[in-house]
Amino acid sequence: MVYFVDQSRKACQIIRENLKSLEVEEGFEILEMDLARALDRLKTPFNIAFVDPPYEREDLYEACLKKFGSASLLAEDGLLIIEHSKRKELPDTVGNIRKIRSLVQGDAALAFYTA
């Protein structure tokens, strides 16, 4: 199951159109809401979670890391990947998650966390 979360109605519509063009009709849910609310709603631990908040919204990075670090949101051997500006350093540990890798590509960076 794949969950797409975005609070932008326009972004969710683009996701729907892309899935339709790929003829994907099941195995996904689009949640038009903010990430914190979506994570409260979804109780199943994730095998892979990819989070890409707007770079200027540092509060979203902190909230996301805090939520994943304090709850059982990752399955055993699950992976949280957060895309962020290479100018922003994310913490090595938050609660019960720890960063295992960082990758910089251009102006973007990816931080990989496990429980």
- Triad 1, 11, 74: Cα angle to 5°: 35
Please give the model's pTM, rounded to 2 decimal places.
0.90
88 within domain boundaries: yes
Give the number of domains in the chain: 2
23 and 66 share one domain: no
Strand intervals (E) in the chain: 2-5, 28-31, 46-51, 74-85, 93-94, 97-105, 108-114
57 and 88 share one domain: yes
What's the confidence (pLDDT) of residue 36?
A: 87
21 and 56 share one domain: no
pLDDT tens digit at each of 115 positions of the chain:
999 999 999 999 999 999 999 999 999 999 999 998 999 898 789 999 999 988 888 888 988 999 999 888 999 899 999 999 999 999 999 999 999 999 999 999 999 999 8
What's the confidence (pLDDT) of residue 50?
A: 96
61 and 108 share one domain: yes
Alpha helix positions (H), the chain: 9-21, 35-41, 58-70
User: What three-state secondary structure class fits 68?
Assistant: helix
Residue 72: give the domain boundaries. Answer: 45-114
